[in-house]
Structure 1
């Protein structure tokens, strides 16, 4: 197990408000480097660059797991009204699109209701986790009455969700980290 981090991928995506060809190429370079270093499988943990992860698979001979695919699959297995909470528009759009695509693939009719927690990402980037968590928690609570399940579009939001007591959760609140690790382990076991 080894880890590669390149914060320029998310920074460039946020700046351009989309995954640019340059960012996608850089991602492919990193994935090829990991493959050449001996990786058996790769888990990419940034939801904002998810579409580039899927496109990059064609250039690799090992499985590449998009962090939010197991999350999307679990959500569509729970209900047809799916809430998506995000702190970045660059994560919200690809997460909603992924859930819709996975539902279509599964032959399921769904409705996605999304919320962007304005200012939360900027707060956490400035070190203000309290404001981030308050904004995310408010976004989650606002969606609870409207949906069957809530998807946190970014792994970093899980801490905020944990602030909502179990007895106040009227729907399941899903986060990607453990689901993605479990899916990656399943892929590796099959190799």
Structure 2
């Protein structure tokens, strides 16, 4: 069994490997492709363009022949999956879609935290669509300054900023917090004001395993 992950940050490899180990997924199941240029292009363009979508689709389809499932781990690029998900030879999944499905199962207020501004629109669309089906209320928020810390290489500061935002959301009444981007996942262990936030790595890998078993 092989699950290939398309990342836009090399640091997400360790995040997904750790999530796989915690879920009991066999070693060497995951393969990783990193295309930081795709997210960089989206940031430069102010969001996902048709050209970047086509480039992302091309990469996903190139990974398909060598995988039993493909996971797109970047929430900014997530909508690119929609045009090929139903026609692909193997499951091609968005980790953020799996996260959205898991988050809206919770009763009460769901707060979704984003670090990258370019992911606000696709993440809001995805989570509000899932919430509408489930009858749940969601609030999608940007964590100011976090992505600048990440790009500067201050990963400890980045994770601390995310955790502080999650703690603040719990204090203000959130029932569950979801961390919209894979790079945010390790901040979940730093949260103290409520249950560990949901992460896209764990949700995405669970969805991939379910699709393969199914």
TM-score bracket, normalised by the shorter chain, equals 0.7 to 0.9
Give the structure 2 partner of residue 184 of structure 1: 208
2:212, 2:190 → 1: CA distance?
33
Alignment of 1:66-81 (within 5 A): 66-81=94-109
Q: TM-score normalised to the size of structure 2?
A: 0.79
1:156, 1:38 → 2: CA distance?
25
Q: 1:64 aligns with which of 67, 72, 92?
A: 92
- Post-superposition Cα deviations, 1:82-127, rounded to whole Å, max 9, x if no partner, equal 10111112223222211111223x3x32322232112211111111
Contact 1:10–1:49 (Cα < 8 Å) also in 2: yes
For the pair 1:163 / 2:197, whether they are aligned, the reply is no
Give the structure 2 partner of residue 18 of structure 1: 47
Supply the RMSD in Å over aligned alpha carbons: 1.8
Q: How far 1:150 moved relative to its partner?
A: 0.5
Give the structure 1 partner of residue 120 of structure 2: 92
Q: 1:28 aligns with which of 30, 51, 57?
A: 57
Which runs of structure 1 show a deviation greater than 4 angstroms over 4 or more consecutive aligned residues? none
Give the structure 2 partner of residue 137 of structure 1: 163
Q: Unaligned 5+ residue runs, structure 1?
A: none
Contact 1:83–1:150 (Cα < 8 Å) also in 2: yes
Contact 1:40–1:63 (Cα < 8 Å) also in 2: yes
1:38, 1:114 → 2: CA distance?
35
Give the structure 2 partner of residue 149 of structure 1: 176
Give the structure 1 partner of residue 34 of structure 2: 5
Give the structure 2 partner of residue 121 of structure 1: 147
1:18, 1:33 → 2: CA distance?
23
Q: Unaligned 5+ residue runs, structure 2?
A: 3-30
Q: TM-score normalised to the size of structure 1?
A: 0.87
1:34, 1:150 → 2: CA distance?
32
2:212, 2:140 → 1: CA distance?
33
The 1:116/1:74 distance shift into structure 2, 3 A limit, reads same
For the pair 1:46 / 2:70, whether they are aligned, the reply is no
Q: How far 1:141 moved relative to its partner?
A: 1.7
